[in-house]
Amino acid sequence: MSGSKSATRSSSLPPENGASPGGRYWRLLALSLASGAVFAVLFYLWGQELFPRAAGRWGGTFPFVGAVALTLAVALFLSEWFGFAGREVRKVRLAARDFLFLCSLALLLFFAAKAVIDLLAEIPALGRGVPTRVYAYLIPLPAFAMVVRVLINSETSILFTVAASVLSAAAASGSWPTLLFLLLSGTAGAARARRVPDRYRMLMVGVQTAPVCALAAAALEFSFHGGGGLLWAGIFGAVNGLLSGPIALAVMPVAESAFGYASDIRLMELSGTGHPLLSRLMMEMPGTFHHSVVVGTLAEAGALAIGANPVLCRVAALYHDIGKLGKTQYFSENQAGVANVHDAMSPGLSRAVILSHVKEGVRMAGEFRLGDRITEIIAQHHGTSLLYCFLDKARPMIQDRKASEEMFRYPGPKPKTREAAIIMLADATEAAVRSLDRPAPQKVDETVTGIVNRIYLDGQLNECDLTLRDLHAVGRAISQVLAAIAHGRVDYPADGKGAV
Ligand SMILES: [Fe+2]
Ligand SMILES: [Fe+2]
């Protein structure tokens, strides 16, 4: 699975907390009912206006009966829609947080749709020349679909677009042209928001979406209502597309802060060494900082080789070992010129100190709000691999049955995304090649191949979407960068005249 969003998302989570399928269904239904109830309040408030012919024989009791019926209908729709996708589409998340986020966005969109239509109707000058139905072409679904794609992934953004289109079309009295426009414009916005590493790119996504929205609005207006509002429909569609970039940029930081997501824009902000964690790493653990920078370079090259997310790989690599802070002397990259403290420690104690850096890293990532994608990679970067360096020392204990080999494994989980797998490979290969003295490119290649094969045969890549072709491409990319780094370490003549 890719981590963005791309992944992310980027990236996909296992069923939350290992809940049973039945438990997940009931939780989803409960969340759907809650979301449906919120929508029902809106429908209750605006029911007469939105469904003027719906009261029928229920007469005065319609608002109440209608609200209950709508709660059930919306809840069923949401639970069936997202439940089906969660079961059958691999990259669709089922975590309660994601569901809450999507429902909050849909709700916000419903409010925005109603507000846009009502506010424009209040402007008399506009009302004289513009048919009120074309106001619906300003409903900002493209912006919201872009946000979902950037913060979660493309599959979820399509699902969101369909669900939000249906719900928001109700704000425009459920007209066909509105529903079709929302479906089309949302898909167009999401489709263009593939990689958004900075604000300029987000604005450009909006600019590229604008002509599609304008064309869709004009075509729908013409086909359903003739040429009367054609020009205004086109203008409103274009404005909708142009505003989608700024709106998405305004919504994203709030969503990141409230729900713990990390967009590529946020990742780029985190990559500066001004961040307190990176500053500490640089000052207190220069060895680990250097290791992290090299792992980032290797992982970025690996990601580019297979079309994974290079920004996520580079930035997550910078933070992957933050759990080592405070335990500088226990990690080999910081032991240059000093005695190895593990020589005086039992294998069991060494094991506990080394293993703890993963858990501590996850805790620090939460404390500093690094976002879900970096936190997941920190948790998964060693998978359930063995602590080979202490295993030999612990052999006598294992033979005496005072310890088992399994005790010298990291607790996991194994990498779930391609980006986490790439960082695991980059981390292990960098450490192995660093231990070689002036290796030739062929030796680097043999070492990288050996480490990649060992990780694969140990089953560490069983839970991610890395194919054998990807694995080969990542290994080759890492090998080339490591060989170039090793080759660059030339002797500098003592008289200072050699290098230029
Ligand atoms: Fe580590
Ligand atoms: Fe590392």
10 Å CB burial of residue 33 (0-12, 13-18, 19+) is middle
Average pLDDT over residues 3-29: 48
Would the pLDDT of 439 be above 70? yes
Per DSSP, helices labelled H in 51-92 are 62-88
The pLDDT, as a whole number, for residue 11 is 37
Q: What is the pLDDT of residues 378-418, one digit of tens each?
A: 999 999 998 877 777 777 777 777 767 778 899 989 999 99
Q: What is the pLDDT of residues 310-338, one digit of tens each?
A: 999 999 999 999 999 988 888 888 877 67
- Per-residue pLDDT band for 455 (boundaries 50, 70, 90) equals very high
The pLDDT, as a whole number, for residue 361 is 95
Q: What is the 3-state secondary structure (H, E, C) of 296-332?
A: HHHHHHHHHHHCCCHHHHHHHHHHCCHHHCCCHHHCH
Ligand 1 centroid from CA 410, angstroms: 10
Ligand 1 centroid from CA 351, angstroms: 13
Angle ∠(452,297,357) on CA atoms, nearest 5: 70
For residues 64 and 260, give the distance between their C-alpha atoms in angstroms, rounded to a whole number. 37
Ligand 2 centroid from CA 55, angstroms: 65
The pLDDT, as a whole number, for residue 15 is 38
Instruction: Enumerate the β-bridge partners of residue 3.
Output: 10
The pLDDT, as a whole number, for residue 150 is 93
For residues 269 and 378, give the distance between their C-alpha atoms in angstroms, rounded to a whole number. 18
Judged by its nearest atom, the ligand closest to the C-alpha of residue 381 is 1
Residue whose structure tokens are 């491409």 = 473
Ligand 2 centroid from CA 393, angstroms: 21
Ligand 2 centroid from CA 381, angstroms: 8
When mean pLDDT is compared across 52-56, 110-114, 158-162, the lowest value belongs to 52-56
Ligand 2 centroid from CA 340, angstroms: 18
The pLDDT, as a whole number, for residue 132 is 78
The pLDDT, as a whole number, for residue 108 is 86
Would the pLDDT of 493 be above 60? no
The pLDDT, as a whole number, for residue 64 is 62
Share of the chain above pLDDT 90, in %: 43
Q: What is the pLDDT of residues 348-384, one digit of tens each?
A: 888 889 999 999 999 999 999 898 899 999 999 999 9
Ligand 1 centroid from CA 285, angstroms: 13
Would the pLDDT of 280 be above 70? yes
Ligand 1 centroid from CA 381, angstroms: 7
Evaluate whether 399 touches 391 at the Cβ level (below 8 Å). Answer: no
Q: What is the pLDDT of residues 81-106, one digit of tens each?
A: 777 887 777 777 667 788 888 888 88
Judged by its nearest atom, the ligand closest to the C-alpha of residue 382 is 1
Q: What is the pLDDT of residues 195-246, one digit of tens each?
A: 888 899 999 999 999 999 999 999 988 888 877 778 889 999 999 999 999 9
Ligand 1 centroid from CA 373, angstroms: 16
Which amino acid appears at position 432 of this protein? A
- Per-residue pLDDT band for 174 (boundaries 50, 70, 90) equals low
Would the pLDDT of 474 be above 90? yes
Evaluate whether 42 touches 49 at the Cβ level (below 8 Å). Answer: no
Judged by its nearest atom, the ligand closest to the C-alpha of residue 387 is 1
- Per-residue pLDDT band for 168 (boundaries 50, 70, 90) equals confident
Would the pLDDT of 3 be above 60? no
10 Å CB burial of residue 373 (0-12, 13-18, 19+) is buried
Would the pLDDT of 140 be above 80? yes
Nearest to 244 by CA among 342, 331, 162, 141: 141
The pLDDT, as a whole number, for residue 500 is 46
**Ramachandran sector of residue 156 (left: φ over 0; alpha: ψ -120 to 50; beta: rest):** alpha
229 DSSP assignment:
T
Evaluate whether 309 touches 419 at the Cβ level (below 8 Å). Answer: yes
Tell me how long the chain is.
Answer: 500
The pLDDT, as a whole number, for residue 7 is 39
The pLDDT, as a whole number, for residue 470 is 95
Ligand 1 centroid from CA 468, angstroms: 24
Would the pLDDT of 186 be above 90? yes
Judged by its nearest atom, the ligand closest to the C-alpha of residue 288 is 2
- Per-residue pLDDT band for 16 (boundaries 50, 70, 90) equals very low
The pLDDT, as a whole number, for residue 13 is 33
**Ramachandran sector of residue 385 (left: φ over 0; alpha: ψ -120 to 50; beta: rest):** beta
Ligand 1 centroid from CA 320, angstroms: 6
- Residue 479 or 20, more confident: 479
Ligand 2 centroid from CA 430, angstroms: 8
Average pLDDT over residues 460-480: 94
The pLDDT, as a whole number, for residue 5 is 45
Within 10 Å of residue 52's Cβ, how many Cβ atoms? 9
For the chain, give the longest Cα–Cα distance. Answer: 100
The pLDDT, as a whole number, for residue 104 is 85
Ligand 2 centroid from CA 321, angstroms: 5
Q: What is the mean pLDDT of the chain?
A: 82
- Identify the three-state secondary structure at position 233: helix
For residues 180 and 99, give the distance between their C-alpha atoms in angstroms, rounded to a whole number. 24
Evaluate whether 178 touches 169 at the Cβ level (below 8 Å). Answer: yes
Collect contacts of 232-236 with beta carbons under 8 A, ≥24 apart. 232/129, 232/130, 232/131, 232/134, 233/134, 233/137, 236/134, 236/135, 236/137, 236/138
Ligand 2 centroid from CA 395, angstroms: 25
Evaluate whether 206 touches 248 at the Cβ level (below 8 Å). Answer: yes
- Identify the three-state secondary structure at position 3: strand
Tokens of 478: 């890492």
The pLDDT, as a whole number, for residue 299 is 97
Ligand 2 centroid from CA 116, angstroms: 51
Ligand 1 centroid from CA 127, angstroms: 63
Nearest to 248 by CA among 309, 166, 186, 308: 186
Ligand 1 centroid from CA 321, angstroms: 5
Ligand 1 centroid from CA 357, angstroms: 7
Would the pLDDT of 43 be above 70? no
Judged by its nearest atom, the ligand closest to the C-alpha of residue 361 is 1
